[in-house]
């Protein structure tokens, strides 16, 4: 065991999010104690109120930027972090709360809050990468525990983390799941969605809902006829692209295209 001073410092930060991705770190039960020997957990309020002042070697950032105060805070965190890694769909793409990006936020504010003038919020839910430079992204809603551990162990070993840019289809094939679209079992975003989850939803007979967001060059236009053939109507196609990665540009464009067709 290294002395605390020799261990790299790890900080975990939360913005607009549900805490589920931070829980993935606590969920590393078998590895957590060993990990705590290797890194100094300097800031992680989900786990401990004790905090250590920065700068930090690695900051894991959960959540999206939705207020001016959050925007200032992420800038300070970036200045205090050697590596900044976003964890989850909120931090990487804006999350489910980015549905606000497609509507009038001032109208929501006036309907929801008794004193809307108390509320200071941005018009859009922003991914972290739109405000500050990001060194790596862990995709997913929530993130995969295995990918998180790989990232942390890669950092400790000084190697590159394994974050493949390939579609979920490859992971279905590796585990022997037959294609849901081709067998007509369910609409599936697997062909345009980045792998990393291990294709858990298709293996449970459930179409991929795209929580890892788009691959590097998704052909959503070619997928839409297959989604329709699998039972989605135009509104269904729009909705399947408008979930946890609604604001990821490729998915936003696909949903917008369907809106255009509806008009």
Partner 1 sequence: MVVLTGLTELVARLRAEGYRVVGPTVRDDAIVLDEIQSADELPYGYGVDAAPGRYRLRRRGDAAAFGHSAGPQSWKQFLHPPRRQLWTADRDGGSFTVTEPANPDERLALLGVRPCDLAAIAVQRRVFGEDSDYARRIDQAFVIAVNCTEPAEVCFCVSAGGGPRADTGYDLALTELANSRYLVEIGSETGSALLSQVVYAPAEPGDIATANDQIRTAENRMSRALPDTDLPGLLRRAAESPHWDDVASRCLTCGNCTMVCPTCFCTSVVDTTDVTGDHAERWQGWASCFDLDYSELHGGQVRTSGASRYRQWLTHKFGTWHAQFGQSGCVGCGRCVAWCPVGIDVTAELTALAATSDIDQPVPS
Where on the chain is the footprint of partner 1 (CB under 8 A)?
A: 31, 34-35, 38, 149-150, 152-154, 156-157, 159, 162, 164-167, 169-170, 173-179, 181-185, 190-192, 205, 215-217, 219, 221-223, 225-226, 229
Beta-carbon-side half-sphere exposure of residue 54 (alpha carbons within 13 Å): 19
Compare residues 76 and 162 and give the one whose CB is closer to partner 1.
Answer: 162
Concatenated DSSP letters of the chain: ---TTTSPEEEEEE-BS-SHHHHHHHT-HHHHHHHHHHSEEEE-TTT-S----S-EEEEEEESBB-SHHHHHHHHHHHHTEEEEEEESHHHHH--GGGGGGGS-HHHHHHHH-SSGGG----SSPBPGGGTS--SEEE-SSS--HHHHHHHHHHHHHT-------SBHHHHHHHHTPPPTTTTTS----GGGBB--S-SHHHHTT-----TT-B-SS--HHHHHHHHHHTT--HHHHHHHHSSTTTTSHHHHHHHHHHHHHH-
Compare residues 98 and 168 and give the one whose CB is closer to partner 1.
Answer: 168
Cβ 37 to partner 1, closest distance in Å?
8
Measured CA angle at 72 (ends 66, 98), to 5 deg: 15
Cβ 178 to partner 1, closest distance in Å?
4
Cβ 239 to partner 1, closest distance in Å?
20
Compare residues 74 and 149 and give the one whose CB is closer to partner 1.
Answer: 149
Q: Are the C-beta atoms of 243 and 210 separated by less than 8 Å? A: yes
Q: Are the C-beta atoms of 92 and 137 separated by less than 8 Å? A: yes
Cβ 106 to partner 1, closest distance in Å?
39
Closest CA to 140 of 86, 202, 80, 73: 86
Cβ 174 to partner 1, closest distance in Å?
4
Cβ 139 to partner 1, closest distance in Å?
14
Cβ 241 to partner 1, closest distance in Å?
15
Compare residues 30 and 117 and give the one whose CB is closer to partner 1.
Answer: 30
Compare residues 52 and 229 and give the one whose CB is closer to partner 1.
Answer: 229
Cβ 212 to partner 1, closest distance in Å?
14
Compare residues 68 and 170 and give the one whose CB is closer to partner 1.
Answer: 170
Compare residues 28 and 99 and give the one whose CB is closer to partner 1.
Answer: 28
Compare residues 90 and 211 and give the one whose CB is closer to partner 1.
Answer: 211
């Amino acid at each position: 065991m290294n002395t605390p001073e020799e261990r790299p410092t790890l900080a975990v930060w939360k913005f607009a999010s549900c805490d589920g991705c931070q829980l993935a770190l606590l969920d590393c039960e078998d590895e957590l104690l060993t990990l705590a020997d290797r890194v100094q957990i300097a800031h992680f309020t989900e786990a401990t109120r004790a905090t250590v002042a920065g700068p930090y070697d690695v900051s894991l950032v959960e959540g999206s930027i939705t207020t001016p105060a959050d925007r200032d805070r992420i800038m300070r965190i970036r200045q205090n972090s050697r590596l900044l890694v976003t964890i989850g769909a909120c931090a990487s793409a804006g999350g489910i709360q980015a549905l606000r990006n497609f509507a009038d936020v001032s109208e929501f504010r006036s309907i929801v809050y008794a004193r809307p003038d108390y509320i200071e919020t941005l018009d859009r839910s922003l991914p972290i990468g739109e405000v500050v430079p990001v060194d790596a992204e862990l995709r997913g809603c929530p993130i995969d525990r295995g990918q998180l551990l790989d990232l942390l162990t890669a950092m400790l070993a000084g190697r590159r983390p394994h974050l493949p840019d390939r579609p979920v289809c490859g992971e279905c094939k590796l585990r022997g799941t037959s294609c849901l679209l081709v067998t007509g079992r369910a609409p599936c975003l697997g062909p345009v969605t980045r792998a990393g989850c291990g294709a858990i939803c298709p293996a449970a007979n459930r179409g991929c809902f795209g929580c890892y967001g788009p691959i590097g060059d998704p052909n959503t236009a070619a997928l839409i006829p297959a989604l329709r053939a699998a039972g989605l109507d135009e509104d269904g196609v729009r909705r399947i692209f408008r979930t946890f990665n609604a604001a990821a540009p490729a998915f936003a464009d696909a949903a917008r295209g369907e809106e255009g067709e509806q008009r």
